[in-house]
Amino acid sequence: MGKRILRRQDFGWKFQLLRIVSPFLFAAGFCTYWLESSKITLRRWPLDGQELPVPMTGPLRILHLTDPHLSGNAAVRRLENAISLGLAQQPDLALFTGDFEFDDREDLSAAVHAALLRLGTAVPTYACLGNHDYASGEHGKAVRKPQSRLADIRACLAKCQIQLLQNQRQEIVIRGQRLAIVGLGDWWWGDMKGKKCLKMAGSEDLPVLLMSHNPDTHVFLQPFAWNVMFSGHAHAGQFRLPFTQRYPFAPLRDRSLARPGLHALKGGRVLCESAGVGAYLGVRLNSPADVTVLDIGEGVSANAPEGPAPAAPPQ
């Protein structure tokens, strides 16, 4: 005997209920997607400079921006909003950790140029490269040679008074403090050359603020001397499982590093991970974009207004 084919009438009230609630579920899902994708959270983290490998007395306020992925008008508006939000915190220094994803042309659009110039003229600003900055055209489809592309990016950033550090070190004095800013090339592109721009651990006199796009790289950088590493890349997974700190889609070896905030690492070092300004395909759920402000000072975490202590170092 053949199986009876199920018909609409067999579901009765369940089918009617589904028909009524499905438009509301769809609308709620769309609104969540739309609102989440345009929302930018300000995250402020305090850090006691005396606990770092090369102690810092501070005060020093660092604005950390990353991953704008400037591939459309919505992304440019998010960058403008992120820069306005960041500059309102009156930082001493800005660090931009890559994945600009500029259009495939020699110059910036007027809006992107204006936004980045506003940042670069307001505060000393340094940048490193992300994996999306080495190829042009569609993702992963390199229609121009990376070195030609990188020369354009360097020139574009220089016009905005932002200094690109590609495996380079820059020593500066801010608020009477001498420190070193180091920017690494991208690990996925085989362009991370720590020996070229970092001293070995124990042989450094200056506090080093390190920009490395991919947070997974901290394990390869342990032999070197640095205080705080600033990273992005993970976009906080663009989706966080509700009520957890799990980011199942983060493109990392160690997905725990996708959590935005401070992560305590071995040797007293700290990772400052940002969820970033933009997102791949513009999609975010339960994982908003962010702008990060790090306040380094003497005993600053003792009476900090917000932000937890760094999570425990990995074993």
Catalog residues that contact Fe ion under the rule CB under 5 A: 67, 99
Q: How far is the CB of 233 from Fe ion (least distance, A)?
A: 5
Choose between 250 and 293: whose C-beta lies nearer to Fe ion: 250
Q: Are strands 93-96 and 60-65 parallel, antiparallel or unpaired?
A: parallel
Q: How far is the CB of 115 from Fe ion (least distance, A)?
A: 18
Choose between 78 and 199: whose C-beta lies nearer to Fe ion: 78
Q: How far is the CB of 97 from Fe ion (least distance, A)?
A: 9
Q: Point out the residue whose Cβ comes nearest to Fe ion.
A: 99
Fill in the DSSP letter of residue 146.
Answer: H
Q: Are strands 228-231 and 125-127 parallel, antiparallel or unpaired?
A: unpaired
Choose between 208 and 250: whose C-beta lies nearer to Fe ion: 250
Q: How far is the CB of 138 from Fe ion (least distance, A)?
A: 15
Choose between 67 and 273: whose C-beta lies nearer to Fe ion: 67
Choose between 80 and 99: whose C-beta lies nearer to Fe ion: 99
Cis geometry, peptide bond prior to residue 59 (ω within 30 degrees of 0) = yes
Q: How far is the CB of 298 from Fe ion (least distance, A)?
A: 34
> Do 211 and 182 contact (CB within 8 A), yes or no?
yes
Choose between 36 and 99: whose C-beta lies nearer to Fe ion: 99
Q: How far is the CB of 118 from Fe ion (least distance, A)?
A: 22
What is the strand order of the sheet 93-96 is part of?
40-48, 289-297, 60-65, 93-96, 125-127, 162-164
What is the rounded distance in angstroms from the CA atom of residue 288 to the CA atom of residue 220?
A: 29
> Do 229 and 212 contact (CB within 8 A), yes or no?
yes
Using CB atoms within 10 Å of the CB of residue 127, give its burial: 0 to 12 exposed, 13 to 18 middle, 19+ buried: buried
> Do 211 and 180 contact (CB within 8 A), yes or no?
no
What angle separates helix 13-38 from helix 73-87, to the nearest 10 degrees? 60
